Amino acid sequence: MERDSGRRLGPTTEMAAKLKALERENRELRQANEILRKASAYFAQAELDRRFKP
């Protein structure tokens, strides 16, 4: 590829693959964080409900 040999500007094949992998990992981590945030809110609310029930 011309970019790999330095004849064209832009990311090399290796760097493009690494970027794609990092973007995928970032997306997965954001999804996991959202799930954990929702679970935390759910359990916090359940704890509050439990404390205030007679």
pTM over 0.85: no
Three-state SS annotation for the chain: CCCCCCCCCCCCHHHHHHHHHHHHHHHHHHHHHHHHHHHHHHHHHHHHHHHHCC
Domain residue limits at 38: 28-54
Report yes or no on 38 lying in a domain: yes
**54 is a domain residue:** yes
Per-residue pLDDT reduced to its tens digit, 11-48: 899 999 999 999 999 999 999 999 999 999 999 999 98
Cα dihedral angle (27, 3, 13, 19), rounded to 10 degrees? -20
In a domain? residue 3: no
What's the domain count of the chain?
1
pLDDT at 6 (0 to 100): 77
Task: Give me 45's structure tokens.
Answer: 């609310």
Residue 53 has pLDDT above 80, yes or no: no
